[in-house]
Amino acid sequence: MILMQPQARAVLQILVNRSRVKQEKPLEIDFHLVEFNDVRYHILSVAKEPHYMTLSLGLPLPAPETVFSGDLPLGAVEAVRGAYGSLAQVKEPPEMGYNLTLRIDLSQLPADEEDCLQVLTKFASVRSVVLGAPLREILKHLAMNTVSPDADRLTALMHRPRESCFLVPQADKVTVIFPMRFKDANDAVLATSFLQEFMEARRTGGLNTAPPCLWSSNPPAELQGVSGLALDANCGFVSIVIFARHVEGDKLERTVWNLSTFHAYVSYHVKCSKAFMHTRMRRRVESLIQVLNRAKPDLEKDKKTAQGRSFKRSV
Amino acid sequence: MANTLRPYLTCIRNTLTAAMSLQNFPCQDVERHNKPEVEFKTNTELLLNPILICRNEAEKCLIETSINSLRISIKVKQADELENILTKKFLRFLAMRAESFQVLRRKPVQGYDISFLITNQHCEEMNKHRLIDFIVRFMEDIDKEISELKLSVNTRGRLVASEYLKQYT
């Protein structure tokens, strides 16, 4: 599994199981789940209301330069209404400790198995809808080659708890800048070598249309005027330039998800690398110990004389 | 680069063969104690001159001998930041398992990356020439492993980057 999927698999599993149960049967479900980057889910189904389920989403705290309207990213409520339509209702106020609560109407799910799965997958990707809402807005304008009138020259979006990435929207392209921060210094060195590969990956065949990526250890020129704390990045800055061809039609959703989880993707692969290295080192240790054991003549070999009698050699 | 490896390892092998004549020597100062003299260095008459074999500025090998023990310290070449952390990780991994290696020292000597301590006990239990084979093989394996780890990191980086960017096309 190289790429990360927008739907939360545990949430999808619970929703599918719930939808398979006949709705007249009262069922009590209460699940609390946590996903990477501090995102929490709470799924609740009470016996009194067999046709409804509530799905609550909890988000981490944003950095000071990122603007949230209420407790949600800008445009999140509209995006949710647009994605789910009549199937889900946004409950005001959201559940205690969570940022968004949806009331899903199970009786309106399509009867066909495949369509139902598609709808439930969309529900399981609620994280992508909510967190990617401001990004989606800006990219929609890019697809039409315009800039939203109320977008600033430099927008800050949350992509990790208390950290933001920066967007420079223009009419023909959008530049996304990620200051990359890793807690562990060793991780930062491994990630630096990965990020440098991003710069060179475009040269391989077939990737000419991919967005150009740049990596630099100093903040790029577009980040002039941003406060020092936001620019503290021990692994350099990655700038990705998105053009209109990357956001037309179906590609919009994928682009939004890939950009929102860029840091998580790199960090996931750094950890996989470390695990692989451990496996290799363990194998190497075993082979070295075998070499060492050859040095020990502790097994007394039975030697045979010419007549066929065996004797033991006493050292 | 490779043409200095063979003479370097041959020199180390010859020095070790000469230095590894260890005999049992109970401690002179404390009754009933039997310590590896090279670690304590209290009595100069029991120590031989330490030998430093350098392959280049970055790689060297220090061999200190005494009457009942021998200490070998190796400094491995680290060209860039990535090799630096890979070497540190790998050698720390090995040093943590020093008990299973028996002749390995848990902490490297100051200024070096990894150290061995061979005592007369080890020479009695194990074949001397095979032991030297092990040390030389160990040094070759470290170099091989570090370069393979670096290669795997670069390969993975390339794959990760191309898979990610494919998503946009």
What does the pLDDT look like over A94-128, one tens digit per residue? 888 888 888 888 888 888 888 888 888 888 888 88
A43 pLDDT higher than 70? yes
**Mean pLDDT across chain B, nearest whole number?**
91
Task: State the smallest CA–CA distance between residue A170 and chain B in angstroms.
Answer: 19
Q: Does residue B71 have a pLDDT over 90?
A: yes
* pLDDT class of A202 with cuts at 50, 70, 90: confident
- Predicted confidence band at A207 (pLDDT cuts at 50, 70, 90)? confident
Determine, for residues A2 and B85 on separate chains, whether the beta-carbon distance falls below 8 Å: no
Mean per-residue pLDDT for A304-310? 60
Domains of chain A: 9-125 (3.30.1460.20), 133-268 (3.30.1460.20)
Tell me the ipTM for this assembly.
0.87
In single-letter form, the type of residue at position A199 comes to M
Q: What is the pLDDT of residue B51?
A: 93
**A62-80 pLDDT, tens per residue?**
887 777 887 788 888 888 8
Kindly determine whether residue A201 and residue B165, on different chains, have CB atoms separated by under 8 Å.
yes
Q: Worst-scoring range by mean pLDDT, A194-198, A292-296, B26-30, B59-63?
A: A292-296
Three-class SS state of A301: coil
H or E element, residue B141: helix B128-166
Provide, as residue numbers in chain A, all residues whose Cβ is less than 8 Å from the Cβ of B169. Answer: 206-207, 209-210
Q: Which of A265, A284, A291, A298 to mutate to test the interface with B (most CBs of B within 10 A)?
A: A284
Task: Say yes or no for a CB contact (<8 Å) between A3 and B161.
Answer: no
For residues A82-102, average pLDDT:
85
The dihedral over CA atoms of A250, A8, A258, A128, expressed in degrees to the nearest 10, equals: 70
Residue A181 in contact with residue A192, Cβ under 8 Å? no
Closest alpha carbon within chain A to B143: A284
Question: Distance (Å, rounded) from C-alpha A94 to C-alpha A254?
Answer: 28
Q: Are B89 and A194 an interchain contact pair (Cβ–Cβ within 8 Å)?
A: no
What's chain B's Rg over C-alpha atoms?
20
Task: Choose among B90, B100, B167: nearest Cβ to A258.
Answer: B167
Nearest to B134 among A210, A291, A298 (CB): A291
B80 part of contact set with chain A, CB < 8 Å: no
d(CA A266, CA A89): 35
User: Contact A202/A240 with Cβ under 8 angstroms?
Assistant: no
Query: Could you tell me where the beta strands, DSSP code E, fall in chain B?
Result: 51-54, 60-65, 69-75, 114-119
Task: Return d(Cα B160, Cα A3) in angstroms, integer.
Answer: 9
